[in-house]
Structure 1
Amino acid sequence: MRTLLLFLQNHWLALRQRLAPLIALIPRPLRRAGLWTLLALPLAVLLYALALVPFTPGISDIRKAKSELPAQLMSADGKLLAEYRWANREWVALDKISPNVVNALIATEDHRFYNHFGLDWRRTASSVLLTLRGDPQGGSTITQQLARNLFPEEIGRSRTITRKLKEAITALKIEASYSKDEILETYLNTVPFLYNAYGIEMAARTYFDKSADKLNVLESATLIGMLKGTAYYNPVTQPERAQARRNTVLAQMVKRGKLDAKQLDGLQKRPLRINFERQTEVMGPAPHFAHQLRKTLIAWADANGYSLYSDGLVIRTTIDSRLQAYANRAVAHQGRQLQGVADAAWARRDGWGPQNELVRTLVRESTEYRAAVDKGDAPDDALKTLLGDTAFMQKLRSEKTRVQAGFLAQDPVTGHVLAWVGSRDFAQDPYDHVQAARRQPGSTFKPFVYGAAFANGASPTDTLMDTAVEIPLGGGRVWRPSDGGPPSDQPMTLGDGLAFSKNTITAQVMQQVGPARVAEVARALGVRQSPLEEVPSLALGTSPVTLKEMVTAYSSIVNLGRYVEPVVITRIEDRHGKVLETFAPSTPQEVFQPRAAQTLRNTMRGAVDKGTATAIRTRYGIQADVAGKTGTTQDNTDGWFILMHARVVAGAWAGFNDGRITLRSDYWGQGARSALPMVGEFMQQALRTNVVSTRDRFVDEFDTPPPTDNSLNSMREWIRGLFHSDTPAAPAAPPDNTPPHPAAPRVQPPVTIDPVDATTLPGPA
């Protein structure tokens, strides 16, 4: 308010001098009455404007907008992970911007820029008169345009007197806060230029592949010409309009003395030369992690009176930049391997062909098909046309058969998230396969079944018969789980049933403990957001969950039944290093019997030592104390692997965004070959570089086998009474046909997320 009154006071004398000749023309008898009449409307407008002042941005907000210090997301070891900018731009000083840009801007948009205080009364009056004559013209100064660019929500875009008054008041405040050069610098760094390019630097790179200080007069005129309507004068899609507008800007530069008139004719004849390259935003090494945190951080900043985009906040996270780099490389490497498999399989005629009903369905679901039908084409004709369109079919295949992956590593003791990879490429697929995607976990869900059994008094050495199983579901339905091959009809220990991921054994254990109890165990350990369907097939992982939930649940197993809430932020500081808030570490909660959890954790060593995950030892040379579980869903749609170590739990998922798409390979589609290599490579590198201690081992809190729970003796007796033999010889481990890994050292591990029919079974683990 005070600033506005000072401006009015300082310019009142100048305004009286300009109005004096006009007042003298009015006859004296009418002058007094006419003067009051003339003053009534401006006075009303002035009073209304004064009432609007509190509803416009404050001086502190205006000063802050120019400073623009984006919040920095830092790793636990002090490396920059991301910056939270409100737009994709790079701020450059005015002296780093070509003078041609400044000259073109002032000549075209506001040639009296250095002579007014934010409002150009002559231009405003001219705009009003032209608009009343039916030729709408903009009357905003550069300062008024800057006000709209900086505060679009506060000022608004509607064509009303309220908006214009808010714009004018904000422009006066900007003039009071900034010098003229600062206004130009801020304007040129905040104006949008399409294609997610904000500011003159990003515009120069996008349209001419050069920096803003290298723009010549033609390039400068082209970009400034876009400001009248970026889409209408887009030089990429509307080159003729853009060239005509460029020539208008050049003419204005001559008119305002910014360009020699002798050059005009030659310059206007020059063709429009664009070197277009869309600028991708620099996402940093953990883009999905940064994106997941953005809403939380904005809410914190708003609640505490800060701006995430301009106050220079420093957010300290739990991510280890070294482990994040290993995870990124592992996902990228395995992603390329799997993509080659998928491309070869789907390129065949029997894969991506017009006779494939899935392909025909995908075409019908495409936007191109819907657009053709909406335009009036018969559905069959539209389908036939698109199936015959080679370019369209190649594009659709590329989109639908792009292999995706997710990876998460977490310290089970502290709950600190150490590495987070949400997809193979954030720019291509920002969808997060760690926290957002829910997929069937397959056999990685089986530990919850065995954990429930161990809590009920069962032992890993108890035996069941590997034989065909039929479980009544009610209503005449029967569930017949099976494995990749016929059952051996031999006794098998529960430990081997888990190590070799035997569905027939797991189904029998589920039958004894019950789906409700298994679901209870899974929820307690960490599967707390995804709904679990309490049916027998839950034992084989038919209820979709997230990778984050599964890694957290396995961390609870390492912790001997103690759940630790995942932690991602440790503290937030201001730009000077002052700690604004410290986030308390998670407190472990005992959610499952520690003795049963210890038994389960130790039993899960079997998958790595002799079962489905032996590649961890044989291919990646990891000889540390680790345990884990592979998982594969029906038709090899989803591949999983989670590895447990005393100070790190690392899990990976591989598949496609569309659950109907598969790798079309029984070999590569298994979790042991699709997901395990990501975890194996990650752990190998973490150990090789000594980021993770090789000395950490699981700690047993209980030295003796658990005593039998008398109230649950019936289950043990049922199990042991099935046959006379106690412990069979362990079945031979399945051959590991994975190509050998080069010279893997014998070292230890690192420190530190489509329903299946209940009568069927997910594929081999």
Structure 2
Amino acid sequence: MRLDQFKTVALSRFAFLQRLRLPAVGLHFRPTRRGIMLAGAAVPAAFLLYVLVLLPFTPGISDIRKAKSEQPARVLSEDGKEIAVYRWANRDWVKLADISPNVVNALIATEDHRFYDHHGLDWRRTASAALHTFSGDRQGGSTITQQLARNRYPDEIGRAPTMTRKLKEAITAFKIEALYSKDEILETYLNTVPFLYNAFGIEMAARTYFDKPAGKLDVLEAATLIGMLKGNSYYNPVLNPERALDRRNIVLAQMVKRGRLEASKLDALKRRPLRIDFERQIEAPGPAPHFAQQLRKWLIAWADRNDYNLYTDGLVVHTTIDARLQTLATQAVAHQGNQLQSIANAAWGPRAGWGENRALVQSFVRESTEFRTAVAAGQPEDAVLKRLLADNAFMQALRQQKTRVQAGFLAIEPNTGAIRAWVGSRDFTVDAFDHVQQARRQPGSTFKPFVYGAAFAAGETPDDTLVDQPVEMTLAGGEIWRPTDESAPTGRPMSLRDGLVYSKNTITAQLVQRVGPDRVARLARAMGVRDSHLDAVPSLALGTSPVTLKEMVSAYGTIANGGQYVAPSMVTRIEDSEGNVLAQFRAPRPERALSATATATLLDVMRDVIDRGTGTAIRTRYGIRADVAGKTGTTQDNADGWFILMHPQLVAGAWVGFNDSRVTLRSDYWGQGARSALPIVGDFYQRALRARAIDGRARFAEPEDTGWFSSMTGQVRGWFQRLFASRSGTKEDTPQAPRPSPRRPVLPDTEADAMPPPAPASNVAVDPPSAPDISEVVEAVPASDTAPTPPAAAPTEAASHPEGAASL
């Protein structure tokens, strides 16, 4: 295109734009008044349109109203005692009237001095903050209400420094002001703002930093805490006291400026030190903390499925826990744990086990967090090891951690599966690890009833005999397994009854060969060991596969329930805050795991464990005369002590050991389950019977005879009863108490004051506690509290066998 042609086209386009009164790019244009007005109106219109678009993305009115009445879930025991409260955070809500006026004055003077004059947004402060921000000096202009909106609804509003976030924050603040009074806003804000160290709200902050309630904070303490709101970590008075002091003085100056503190006091107050009295506030664990911890996991899933919030909807959860039994269990664990700890302290003193096992101690040091952190930072391993071994404070703390005795206890109602007591450790605040459901340890001889139960189900009888002789089994891979007992084999026949009563490994090993480990594993799973893996190998009979205490107590509950497994349950019903039932939970349906006849036989044999076997302390020391049966168990080097006792109304078991199985009580006497775990269970049952929490007269049900003769005699007996009842004109016969079994001995009403003397030391070959793979086991089996084998001529003699002395 030539130059003259280009000029002609440009002029024609300019003339067209002039007629339309539109601007021409690069050419002079004179705006009209109408154009200016339209342009000015377009900006607020677009802004209003954007606000309307954002409205659905901010918390709704119903959400904010609900926030005013948020209530955490409360967990109650069966008898109505509160055992846990599920809160969002470690917070103790206090009313505004119970908060020191110094806190309110400091907050308003520093964060929002026109708080009572605006409706959620301080326009003057917002404009000032915007001007300073545009000039490069970024400032915040949020009101207390806006901060509350941001703190309460972080997901809906967000944290990004954008215009969209500020608009969402402002919209939510307007909604809050429409529904909350000013005092409600202050109260909610002060009870929800975080203060580090898991302290939420002014009450927890006051206790954490000054060891006093929020109502007693003086002006200096209030100014210190309010000063932290600008930046909790930066103005942390524990780690950064100089910054916290400077910030506190700024808050005091703001209080003077806003007329909330006398100016004459400022200089004297600014010279005062912080005087922090710091102590972390740990949320009260409650009477059943491990139970509550496991229950929370289940409740969260239930609440999600049913569209409830566990922390805000005020749910009331009724559980199966019996508050009385829970208290008794906690006391029993604490008492026995303290006694065993004194033994462990002596066994693992600096000049005893700790000093004698240098290689093990060095392994503990190398596994510590301090060692790994130093090595990861590039320090030589040998130098780190030498430094830590010379650090007395570190070594003392490590020894206390590794040699702390731990325990677990569980009690279940056998016919319903209701969990009545759950103690997961000696002290939840020291060790929150749950030794009931989380810990898996070798059960030792407490696993043997599954072998004998499978044998009785296959037609064996308690009077059948096996020769007490050395046993050798060739395993896959050619290894030889030789299970042994504490005492040498006698070479004499022994009944299956005595094999279980005295926990003979040689007899049990032969019996598992007859029955087969697969059948034993299937029976154990059917009876309740359903979560842990069971290796179907011969040594399974002696308890080499790690299991949980919950599984074992549940499986023993199957024996107490006539061979029917009932899954353990924790909750009976869930209500809303008004008492309306949201969900009702029935007892799980029983599942037949073992025939009633085989179960009755097994139960009767396990009664003898208590009457004349390894569990006689239940009778002699604790004076328990009720119809009970049970089994003890101990594993390699006394690393694990077990005892489970069955009563018709309650089955309870305990495990005792250390978190690290390489640490033991180093005592063939105290390390046995009959002396470590049995006292917990015995103490618990003794107190429960005295408190009438369970009935000492209750007896296990005898299996019904379903033969034709029994059926006929039953019909005749019923006909005669109806006949004579109709002639006499009486109602139903008065129920009679069950007749005691003729073979049960009459027990004296006595309680021994002390344990029998320790059994003589012996050499027992057993499996290592951490060896679940049978291919690694050669000439080894886990044995436990072993006792002298009863004489062949007098297999039922009990007096000559000290308590806890037989193999468990």
TM-score (norm 1): 0.88
Q: Aligned pair in 2 of structure 1 residues 266, 537: CA closer, same or farther (>3 Å)?
A: same
Aligned-pair CA distance for 1:375: 2.5
Give the secondary structure class of the aligned counterpart of 1:312: coil
Mapped contact 1:440–1:755 kept (Cα < 8 A): no
Which residue, out of 752, 755, 761, partners 2:771? 755
Find out whether 1:508 has 2:510 as its counterpart: yes
Deviation at 1:425, TM superposition (A): 1.3
Which of 754, 765, 784 in structure 2 is aligned with 1:739? 754
CA distance in 1, matches of 2:635, 2:548: 14
Structure 2 residue 255 is the aligned partner of structure 1 residue 253: yes
Contact 2:622-2:752 at 8 Å conserved across structures: no
Q: Counterpart amino acid of 1:761? A: V
Which of 272, 275, 290 is matched with 1:273 structurally? 275
Structure 1 Cα separation of the partners of residues 628 and 282 of structure 2: 40
Q: What secondary structure, in the 3-state scheme, does the structure 2 residue paired with 1:113 have?
A: coil
Structure 2 residue runs without a partner (length 5+) = 1-29, 708-750, 757-769, 785-807
Q: Which whole-Å CA distance do the structure 1 matches of 2:153 and 2:239 have between them?
A: 29
Q: State which of 185, 188, 196 in structure 1 corresponds to 2:187.
A: 185
CA contact (8 A) 1:607 1:627 kept: yes
Shift of residue 509, structure 1, vs aligned partner: 0.7
> 1:288 aligns to what?
290
C-alpha distance in 2, partners of 1:633/1:738?
27
How far did residue 66 of structure 1 move? 2.8
Cα displacement string for residues 593-623 of structure 1 (whole angstroms, at most 9, x for unaligned residues):
2211111111111211111111111111111
AA at the equivalent of 1:758: V
In the TM superposition, what is the alpha-carbon distance from 1:282 to its structure 2 partner?
A: 1.4
Per-residue deviation at 1:41? 5.0
Deviates more, 1:198-207 or 1:381-390: 198-207
What is the Cα deviation at residue 330 of structure 1? Answer: 0.5
Question: 1: distance between equivalents of 2:489 and 2:586?
Answer: 51
- Which residue number corresponds to residue 382 of structure 1? 384
1:105 aligned residue (104, 107, 126): 107
- One-letter amino acid matched to 1:422: G
The whole-number CA distance in structure 1 between the counterparts of 2:577 and 2:349 is: 53
**SS of alignment partner, residue 273 of structure 1:** coil
Aligned partners of 2:610 and 2:547: how far apart in 1?
23
In structure 1, distance between residues paired with 2:33 and 2:372: 69
Q: CA RMSD in A?
A: 2.1
Fraction of identical pairs, as percent: 67
**Does residue 1:483 correspond to 2:488, yes or no?**
no
Cα distance change of structure 1 residues 666 and 124 upon mapping to structure 2, 3 Å threshold: farther
Q: Residues 455 and 358 from structure 1, CA distance in 2 versus in 1: closer, same or farther, beyond 3 angstroms?
A: same
Q: CA deviation at 1:581?
A: 1.3
CA contact (8 A) 1:345 1:351 kept: yes
Distance 2:524 2:357 in 1: 43
Contact 2:621 2:752 in 1 (8 A): no
Shift of 1:419: 0.5
User: Which runs of structure 2 are paired with 1:574-613 in the superposition (5 Å)?
Assistant: 574-613=576-615
Alignment deviations for residues 247-274 of structure 1 (CA, whole Å, 9 cap, x no partner):
1110111111111111111100001111
> Which amino acid is the alignment partner of residue 212 of structure 2?
K
1:737: how far off? 11
Cα drift, residue 53 of structure 1: 2.3
Distance 1:659 1:58, change over 3 A: farther
404-413 or 333-342, which deviates more: 333-342
Match of 1:306 in 2: 308
Residue 428 of structure 1 corresponds to which residue in structure 2? 430
Q: 1:365 to 1:159 in 2, by over 3 A?
A: farther
Q: CA–CA distance in 2 between the matches of 1:755 and 1:43?
A: 75
Greater shift in the superposed pair: 357-366 or 377-386: 357-366
Verify the 8 A CA contact 1:354 1:360 in the aligned structure 2. Answer: no
Out of 553, 556, 571, the residue aligned to residue 554 of structure 1 is: 556
SS of the aligned residue for 1:655 comes to strand
Alpha-carbon separation, structure 2, partners of 1:121 and 1:575 = 41
Query: Cα offset for 1:429?
Result: 1.5
SS at match of 1:293: helix
Which range moves more in the overlay, 176-185 or 755-764? 755-764
Give the structure with higher Rg (CA). 2
2:320 to 318, 321, 330: 318
* 1:98 to 1:457, Cα distance in 2 relative to 1, 3 A: same
CA contact (8 A) 1:673 1:738 kept: no
1:401 and 2:417 correspond: no
Task: Find the counterpart in structure 2 of residue 327 from structure 1.
Answer: 329
Measured in 1, the distance between the counterparts of 2:672 and 2:706 equals 36
In structure 2, relative to structure 1, the CA distance for the partners of 1:488 and 1:268 (3 Å cut) is same
User: How far does the alpha carbon of each residue in 1:84-110 deviate from its partner, in whole angstroms, 9 at most, with x for none?
Assistant: 111111111111111100000011111
**What displacement does 1:432 show?**
1.2
2:501 is aligned to 499
Alpha-carbon deviation of 1:486? 2.0
Residues 245, 704 of structure 1: CA spacing in aligned structure 2 closer, same or farther, 3 A cutoff? same
The whole-number CA distance in structure 1 between the counterparts of 2:265 and 2:342 is 56
1:500 Cα offset (Å): 1.2
Q: Find the aligned partners of 1:238 and 1:161 in 2 and give their Cα distance.
A: 33
Per the alignment, residue 339 of structure 1 pairs with 341
Which segment is superposed worse, 438-447 or 166-175?
A: 166-175
Stretches of 4+ aligned residues off by more than 6 angstroms: none
> In the TM superposition, what is the alpha-carbon distance from 1:483 to its structure 2 partner?
1.4
**1:48 corresponds to which of 47, 50, 53:** 50
Deviation, structure 1 residue 560: 1.7
Q: What pairs up with 1:139-218 in 2 under 5 angstroms?
A: 139-218=141-220
The structure-2 alpha-carbon separation of the partners of 1:662 and 1:129, relative to structure 1 and needing over 3 Å to count, comes to farther
Q: CA deviation at 1:634?
A: 0.8
SS in 1 for 2:529: coil
Alignment match, 1:71: 73
1:703 Cα deviation after fit: 6.2
Matches within 5 A, 1:681-700: 681-700=683-702
Q: 1:571 to 1:704 in 2, by over 3 A?
A: closer
Q: CA deviation digits over 1:465-499, x for unaligned, max 9?
A: 11211111032201111112322222211111111
Contact 1:613-1:629 at 8 Å conserved across structures: yes
CA distance in 1, matches of 2:518, 2:141: 70
SS state at 2:348 partner: helix
1:437 aligns with 2:428: no
Q: Which amino acid aligns with 1:317?
A: T
Task: Give distance in 1, aligned partners of 2:108 and 2:658.
Answer: 52
Query: Under a length normalisation based on structure 2, what TM-score does the superposition of the two structures give?
Result: 0.83
CA distance in 2, matches of 1:245, 1:646: 67
Amino acid at match of 2:90: N
Change (3 A) 1:48 1:346: farther
Deviation at 1:761, TM superposition (A): 1.4
Rate the CA distance shift 1:131–1:342 in 2: closer, same or farther, 3 A.
farther
Of residues 153-162 and 551-560 in structure 1, the stretch that sits farther from structure 2 once superposed is 153-162
Classify the secondary structure of the residue corresponding to 1:600: helix
Q: Residues 623 and 752 of structure 2 are in contact (CA less than 8 Å); yes or no, is this contact kept in structure 1?
A: no
- Consecutive unaligned residues of structure 1, counting only runs of 5 or more, are 1-27, 706-735, 742-753
Q: Which amino acid in the other structure matches residue 762 of structure 1?
A: P
Deviation at 1:42, TM superposition (A): 4.9
CA deviation after TM superposition for structure 1 residue 39, in Å? 5.2
Higher mean C-alpha deviation, range 231-240 or range 305-314: 305-314
Alpha-carbon distance, 1:704 to partner: 11
1:186 partner letter: T
State the match for 1:721 in structure 2: none
Instruction: State which drifts further: 580-589 or 642-651.
Output: 580-589
Q: CA deviation at 1:514?
A: 1.1
Spell out, residue by residue over 1:138-193, the C-alpha distance to the aligned partner (whole angstroms, 9 max, x if none). Answer: 22211111112222233233333333333222222211110111000000011111
Q: CA deviation at 1:45?
A: 4.3
Q: Give the Cα separation in 1 of the matches to 2:317 and 2:597.
A: 39
Which of the residues 74, 79, 82 maps onto 1:80?
82
Shift of 1:207: 1.2
Tell me what 2:361 maps to: 359
Counterpart of 1:739, as a letter, is A
Contact 2:479 2:777 in 1 (8 A): no
Q: Would you say the 8 A contact 1:350–1:356 is kept in 2?
A: no
| Matched letter for residue 495 of structure 1 | R
> Contact 1:544/1:755 (CA < 8 Å) preserved in 2?
no
